[in-house]
């Protein structure tokens, strides 16, 4: 056993740009003094962390950032919130107007439309239950408010009604009462994404790998397994893109007592460690990364890309693309192929909807992240209810709107592998590389650790790879689960 503490050795190596991977730590197990450690570092300074698959015959990946938030420094005022909600309403009502809505009118005019069939578009201001068990909504547009009754006797409609949340924008078709102050709903329509989306396939060979929640810098980070993952990704010639959906580092001050659970105490050290891992990945692989709630950027969404003070060297890596959460990137575009659009969102609002939407809660809540993602696509928004996530209003546009329909919608945060599909959009919640966290146990979730999702872009075959090593074993149980 060395007399130097593991923490000291790890710090020492990171400062000298040497990745403290298990194989290196194994080599220095017998070192007892700082001088011996210096000697070891000198000898290993030229160790090449990067790997270059020079015989790669696959065409190089292409990434275009379609939408990524850039911080807009401005003192926020009440009027900014109003503008923010007005902008959101305008975008969602434009989507809803493209649907077949008979006698569409503004709420102000309803008072004159007694006993008439009408359609309106509004934001849900209130939601409650009448004493007879019907749902009573209050909808608002820019001209006024109106009460909308959803009868418990219309079971399909009632089912949609009970899953509506505050502030979402919907269209309602129905009949006005004789006094012109209540609308009896016959149809409830979400903005939704169109049906009939064709599953795109690339003309070139290549694949994309999705993962998230590395939590580098945590004592419980699966270093050996992550090393195996990097070795695998470098040896797989087809991989052109790696997408990481946030929580790349463990962060500091995220929860009480976290300082006892980190192997690197500062964000600078944690991001240096991340850089060393990224440098080990083949330069031919384009790495797209958005932040999560552990990554030292503001919690309020949209979260801008990583703080420049921690990632200067990562930013300079030509194969690394840093984007915001949420963001949209396009990959694999050619002259004859429009490429795939990926919506990246770390997923801070996922727990709220897993818990608050009855239909999702009853089917497993956060365990069914794919249902929450479907819910967002139907609402065309990543956090429709005020208060479901922290956000900073932006008068330019609401960055949490889903304006462009993606081909892949990827989230993290939940530390579970969940695959789904909705109207041609592939829904992916990705795995984590850290042992069960306090957050996980709070939600009673068992994490699926050390998995990666690989999708062949030419065939759209999807596989889950498992890099979790068996207890007391060095071998990786790298099973491949093919999802049809
Ligand atoms: Fe996480």
The Cα-based distances of 294 to 92, 227, 291, 413 in angstroms read: 31, 21, 8, 10
Q: What is the pLDDT of residue 443?
A: 66
Ligand 1 center to residue 306 CA distance, Å? 15
Ligand 1 center to residue 211 CA distance, Å? 11
Which residues crowd ion ligand 1, with CB under 5 Å? Answer: 213, 247
Look over the chain and give the mean of its residue pLDDT values, rounded to a whole number: 89
Ligand 1 center to residue 392 CA distance, Å? 22
Q: In the chain, pLDDT over 90 holds for what percent of residues?
A: 68
Mean pLDDT to the nearest integer, 98-110: 94
CB atoms < 10 A from the CB of 298, how many? 14
What is the dotted CATH code of the domain comprising 63-72+196-483? 3.60.21.50
Return the top range by mean pLDDT from 76-80, 189-193, 263-267, 393-397. 189-193
Ligand 1 center to residue 225 CA distance, Å? 17
Ligand 1 center to residue 215 CA distance, Å? 7
Ligand 1 center to residue 301 CA distance, Å? 16
Beta bridge partners of 171: 121, 189
Beta bridge partners of 63: 331
Q: What is the pLDDT of residue 77?
A: 80
Mean pLDDT to the nearest integer, 202-208: 95
Q: What is the pLDDT of residue 29?
A: 75
Q: What is the pLDDT of residue 470?
A: 65
Q: What is the pLDDT of residue 34?
A: 77
Mean pLDDT to the nearest integer, 56-68: 87
Q: With a cut of 70, say whether residue 438 has pLDDT above it.
A: no
Ligand 1 center to residue 424 CA distance, Å? 27
Ligand 1 center to residue 11 CA distance, Å? 23
Q: What distance in Å separates the CA atoms of residue 94 and residue 406, rounded to the nearest whole number?
A: 19
The Cα-based distances of 348 to 292, 294, 391, 404 in angstroms read: 8, 11, 11, 20
Q: Is 398 or 483 the better-scoring residue by pLDDT? A: 398
Ligand 1 center to residue 322 CA distance, Å? 18
Ligand 1 center to residue 234 CA distance, Å? 24
Q: What is the pLDDT of residue 14?
A: 73
Return the top range by mean pLDDT from 24-33, 51-60, 404-413. 404-413
Secondary-structure class of domain 99-189 per CATH: mainly beta
Summarised one tens digit per residue, pLDDT across range 122-168 is: 999 999 999 999 999 999 999 999 999 999 999 999 999 999 999 99
How many helices (H) and strands (E) are present in the chain, helices listed first? 12, 18
Q: With a cut of 50, say whether residue 56 has pLDDT above it.
A: no
Residue 302: is the preceding peptide bond cis (ω within 30°)?
yes
CB atoms < 10 A from the CB of 431, how many? 26
Summarised one tens digit per residue, pLDDT across range 210-253 is: 999 999 999 999 999 999 999 999 999 999 999 999 999 998 87
Q: What distance in Å separates the CA atoms of residue 263 and residue 219, rounded to the nearest whole number?
A: 5
Ranges 25-29, 145-149, 251-255, 418-422: which has the least confidence: 25-29
CB atoms < 10 A from the CB of 336, how many? 6
Q: Is 271 helix (H, G, I), strand (E, B) or coil?
A: helix
Q: What is the pLDDT of residue 43?
A: 67
Q: Is 237 or 32 the better-scoring residue by pLDDT? A: 237
The pair of structure tokens assigned to 161 is 């009604």
Summarised one tens digit per residue, pLDDT across range 470-484 is: 654 444 545 555 444
Q: With a cut of 80, say whether residue 371 has pLDDT above it.
A: yes
The Cα-based distances of 253 to 245, 250, 265, 293 in angstroms read: 21, 10, 10, 11
C-alpha neighbours within 13 Å on the C-beta side of residue 8: 12
The Cα-based distances of 355 to 162, 326, 350, 368, 438 in angstroms read: 14, 21, 9, 11, 18
Q: What is the pLDDT of residue 100?
A: 86
Ligand 1 center to residue 65 CA distance, Å? 24
Short-list 121, 125, 87, CA closest to 104:
121
Residue 326: is the preceding peptide bond cis (ω within 30°)?
yes
Length of the chain equals 484
| DSSP characters over 188-246 | EE-----S-------SS--EEEEE----BTBTTB-HHHHHHHHHHHHH-TTEEEEEEES
Q: Buried b vs exposed e over 235-267: b needs ≥16 C-beta within 10 Å? A: ebbbbbbbbbbbbbbbbbebeeebeebbbbeeb
Ligand 1 center to residue 181 CA distance, Å? 48
Ligand 1 center to residue 263 CA distance, Å? 16
Q: Is 160 helix (H, G, I), strand (E, B) or coil?
A: helix
Q: What is the pLDDT of residue 31?
A: 79
The pair of structure tokens assigned to 356 is 């608050």
Q: With a cut of 50, say whether residue 329 has pLDDT above it.
A: yes
Q: With a cut of 50, say whether residue 173 has pLDDT above it.
A: yes
Q: With a cut of 70, say whether residue 57 has pLDDT above it.
A: no
Q: With a cut of 80, say whether residue 54 has pLDDT above it.
A: no
Q: What is the pLDDT of residue 480?
A: 54
Ligand 1 center to residue 139 CA distance, Å? 36
Structural domain boundaries in the chain:
6-44, 63-72+196-483, 99-189
Summarised one tens digit per residue, pLDDT across range 176-192 is: 999 999 999 999 999 99
Q: With a cut of 80, say whether residue 201 has pLDDT above it.
A: yes
């Amino acid at each position: 056993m060395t007399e130097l503490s593991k923490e000291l050795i790890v710090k020492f190596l990171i400062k000298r740009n040497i990745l403290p991977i298990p194989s290196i730590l194994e080599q220095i197990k017998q070192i007892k003094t700082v001088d011996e450690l210096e000697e070891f570092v000198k000898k290993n300074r030229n160790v090449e962390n990067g790997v270059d698959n020079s015989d790669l015959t696959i065409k190089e990946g292409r990434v275009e950032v379609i939408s990524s938030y850039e911080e807009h420094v401005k003192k926020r005022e009440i009027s900014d919130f109003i503008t923010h909600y007005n902008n959101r309403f305008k975008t969602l009502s434009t989507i809803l107007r493209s649907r077949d809505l008979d006698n569409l009118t503004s709420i102000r005019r309803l008072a004159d439309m007694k006993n008439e069939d009408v359609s309106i578009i509004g934001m849900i201001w209130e939601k409650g239950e009448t004493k007879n068990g019907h749902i009573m909504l209050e909808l608002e547009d820019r001209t006024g408010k109106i009460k909308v009754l959803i009868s418990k006797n219309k079971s399909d409609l009632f089912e949609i009604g009970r899953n509506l949340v505050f502030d979402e924008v919907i269209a309602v078709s129905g009949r006005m009462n004789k006094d012109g102050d209540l609308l009896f709903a016959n149809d409830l329509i979400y903005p939704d994404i169109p049906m009939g989306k064709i599953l795109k396939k690339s003309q070139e060979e290549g694949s994309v790998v999705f993962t998230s929640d590395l939590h580098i810098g945590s004592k419980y980070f699966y270093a050996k397994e992550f090393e195996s993952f990097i070795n695998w990704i470098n040896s797989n010639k087809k991989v052109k893109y790696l997408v990481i959906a946030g929580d790349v580092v463990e962060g500091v001050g995220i929860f009480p007592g976290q300082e006892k659970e980190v192997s690197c105490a500062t964000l600078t050290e944690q991001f240096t460690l991340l850089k060393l891992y990224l440098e080990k990945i083949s330069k031919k692989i384009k790495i797209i990364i958005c932040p999560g709630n552990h990554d030292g950027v503001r919690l309020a969404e949209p979260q801008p890309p990583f703080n420049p003070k921690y990632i200067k060297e990562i930013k300079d890596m030509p194969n690394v693309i840093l984007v915001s959460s949420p963001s949209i990137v396009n990959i694999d575009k050619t002259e004859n192929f429009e490429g795939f659009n990926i919506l990246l969102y770390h997923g801070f609002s996922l727990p709220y909807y897993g818990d608050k939407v009855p239909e999702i809660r009853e089917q497993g809540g956060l365990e069914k992240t794919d249902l929450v993602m479907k819910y967002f696509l139907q609402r065309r928004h990543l956090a429709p209810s005020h208060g479901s996530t922290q956000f900073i209003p932006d008068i330019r546009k609401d960055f949490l709107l889903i304006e462009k329909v993606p081909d892949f919608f990827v989230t993290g945060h939940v530390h579970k592998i969940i695959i789904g599909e909705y109207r041609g959009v592939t829904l992916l919640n990705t795995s984590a590389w850290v042992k069960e966290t306090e957050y996980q146990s709070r939600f009673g979730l068992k994490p699926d650790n050390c998995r990666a999702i690989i999708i062949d872009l030419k065939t759209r075959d999807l596989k889950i790879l498992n890099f979790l090593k068996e207890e007391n074993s060095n071998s990786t149980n790298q099973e491949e689960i093919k999802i049809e």
